[in-house]
Amino acid sequence: MNTGANDAGRRVIAGLAILTSNLAEGRDYIDLFVPLVAQCIWAAKPKVVSATDLQSQMRDTFGMQIPQNALKLVLHRAAKKGYVKRQKMTYVPNFEVLAGLNFAPRYEDIIRQQNAAIGRLVTFAADRFRITLTESEAENALLAHIQKHDIEILDCFLNLEAPAVFKPESTKQLDYIISLFIAECYKSDPEGFKHIDTIVKGHFLSHTLFFPDLGQIKRRFHRTQIYFDTALLLRLLGYEGVARQEPCKELLDLLYREGAAFKCFRDTRDEVSTILYACMITMSKGDTEYASHTFTYLKGAGYGPSDIELELSVLDSKIEESGIGIVGLPEYSTRFQIDEEKLDKALRDKTSYWQERPRQRKHDVDCLSAIYRLRKGRESIYIEDSIATFVTANSALCNAGAKFFVAEGHTDRSCVPIAITDYALTALLWLKTPMAAPDLPVKRVIAECYAAVEPKERMWSKYIETVSRLKDHKKISENDYYLLRYSQLAHKELMELTMGDEDVITEGTIEDILETVKGEIRKEDLALLEQERYAHEQTRKDSLAKLEEERHLHEESERKLEHERTVNKRKWEKLSQNIEQKSRRIAKYTSICTFVVAMLLVSAGALFGSIRWWGHPWNYALLVCYAVFLFFSIVNLVNGVTIKDWMSRLEVCLAGRIQSVLKRWFLTQG
């Protein structure tokens, strides 16, 4: 295995991929690192395993700087698996067991996959931007893109300085290329995206051993209130697109599972409302100087002023439906009060963003001060017990806030800061239950990639300023001005040419954009004419085919209808015959039964009519039988009608009635 400095990026990526594959095998966090440690021991073949030497070997082989205390835990687990033996307070390698690991084929397979993905990136940079990247440069650029939040996780959350691991440098242009490459892979290259997913998850997992107490990773939140910043609310509510909404929703789901409560200050809700209102006014005026992510998404998604006005009317209900409670700022307390003017100055001196936006700066100061008052002086080294924490997408705010509260003596450096980034919180929650949201890490990366390929406010302002100056100096026409300002193709070409770096915007850049856009429009016009001709011819053919198809369908429908009529008629006739036959059969059996009863009565009357049994209980029954006998005898003498005739009439009458009832039940219902 080559461990030279020239392939450091490759070794780091391979190590991250191995961590992810270990997670897929159901191992715990310590077990994730055992194969890597075992391989380092096998490659070095020391007589005694030293934590210091092993730390260096892990750094040189896989680019991972692991604390020695954590390495001791990994060695203890390796001893349980038989890779090393414990002898007199030291560990010695068990080379017989290590030889059976067969690490090389697995490593080589990962390298092959990595080479294929990096090859795609090199080809993408050459074809799209005419930029030639070596494989090493492509690997380093990809790693730099993935590792850019390390300080947020290690320093802002775990209260550690960033470790001296392999830290490749990048540029705005390379970062833009990587962002666009990842976004393109996500949309159209599942195989290439799978490799990126593996690296991102491995990068998250690589932070586990930096936790002071690995057992606390599984710790649940204990009545902790998480307060969301404006940017996160906008994303969560879907006002910056689905790609940026999904990781926020999954973050919310993970927080809910862990027992946290999520809220936002009413001032934060008001700031969201102000941003939406600004988008509505900008759209009403037809202006495009306002270029926030929210405005860009809403405009591209087809929102109009009336649509945004409707969103404003239901804003509170949408926030509450997401499970976020809207609360006011806590009351001020002299005991838990900070110097807000001093914090305001600290933020103002931090970046030009806060210098230009005093209203947003005041909101940030109010939120940090409110969280401090909610904690009431209680501090914790675990966020799960921190009472209240402000979560924001602004890493500069977290950094400036942490330094201020430590410098003023309000909090200790080892305790959870007042504000943390959503990225750091996502990393912690995902490490708690990685299988609960397996795609969350890479969704975060995708969301950032989509944001990176859109023009930032500063870039857009400089672009509009340059375009306006060209129009004022008569260097471009009025039509060119509107084309550059309002065409989505021009906006896309702006990012392609500048690769996200506003410093390269010049009048020459604008002219190049205009030329490209006009060329594309001419191509689109020719293509549109050809498309219209083809569409006209296709429409004529389709109309003829449709008429012929309708004729065939009509004939087929008539045939089916006639067939159904014939079938139904036969069924009706057959059912009618069955009803008639059953009716006659029922009537016949009924008349026979009646005939038998009548004959019994007549016989009884004839036989016993002359006997006098006045004192016997059968007396009245015999009188009835005798009366029936006399009745039929008289009728027979007068009209010549026999009992059999009566039974025949009864059979005919019953058959007709029964047939009528059965037909009404079955034929009418059918």
Q: How confident is the model at residue 164 (pLDDT cuts 50, 70, 90)?
A: very low
Output 623 or 42, whichever has higher pLDDT: 42
- pLDDT reading at 162 higher than 70: no
Confidence at residue 625, expressed as pLDDT on a 0 to 100 scale: 65
The one-letter amino acid at 92: V
Q: Is 376 left (phi over 0), alpha (psi -120 to 50) or beta?
A: left
Q: Across all residues in the chain, what is the average pLDDT?
A: 80
How far is residue 613's CA from residue 544's CA, in Å, rounded to a whole number?
Answer: 100
- pLDDT reading at 568 higher than 90: no
Confidence at residue 548, expressed as pLDDT on a 0 to 100 scale: 80
Please indicate, yes or no, whether the overall pTM of this predicted structure exceeds 0.75: no
Continuous H helices in 206-314: 230-236, 242-257, 266-285, 293-300, 305-313
Output 210 or 106, whichever has higher pLDDT: 106
pLDDT digits (tens, 9 = 90+) for 531-554: 666 666 677 677 777 878 887 888
- pLDDT reading at 317 higher than 90: yes
CB 625 within 8 A of CB 601: yes
Indicate the burial class of 583 (C-beta count within 10 angstroms; 0-12, 13-18, 19 or more). buried
How far is residue 425's CA from residue 157's CA, in Å, rounded to a whole number?
Answer: 8
Dig out the tokens for 544 from the structure. 């003829």
Confidence at residue 540, expressed as pLDDT on a 0 to 100 scale: 67
- pLDDT reading at 310 higher than 90: yes
CB neighbour list of residue 202: distance below 8 Å, 6 or more residues apart: 15, 16, 17, 18, 19, 20
Kindly tell me the sign of the dihedral angle through the C-alpha atoms of 275, 279, 282, 287. positive
How far is residue 514's CA from residue 506's CA, in Å, rounded to a whole number?
Answer: 13
C-beta neighbour count of 153 within 10 angstroms: 24
- Of 567, 571, 561, 564, nearest in space to 667 by CA: 571
- The mean pLDDT value for 65-91 works out to 85
Q: How confident is the model at residue 167 (pLDDT cuts 50, 70, 90)?
A: low
Q: Are strands 90-93 and 225-228 parallel, antiparallel or unpaired?
A: unpaired
Question: In the chain, how many H helices and how many E strands?
Answer: 28, 7
CB 371 within 8 A of CB 363: no
Q: How confident is the model at residue 601 (pLDDT cuts 50, 70, 90)?
A: low
Using DSSP, state whether 388 is helix, strand or coil: strand
The dihedrals phi and psi of 228, each to the nearest 5 degrees, come to -95, 145
- The mean pLDDT value for 63-83 works out to 84
Q: How confident is the model at residue 60 (pLDDT cuts 50, 70, 90)?
A: confident
pLDDT digits (tens, 9 = 90+) for 639-669: 655 666 666 777 778 777 777 777 677 666 5
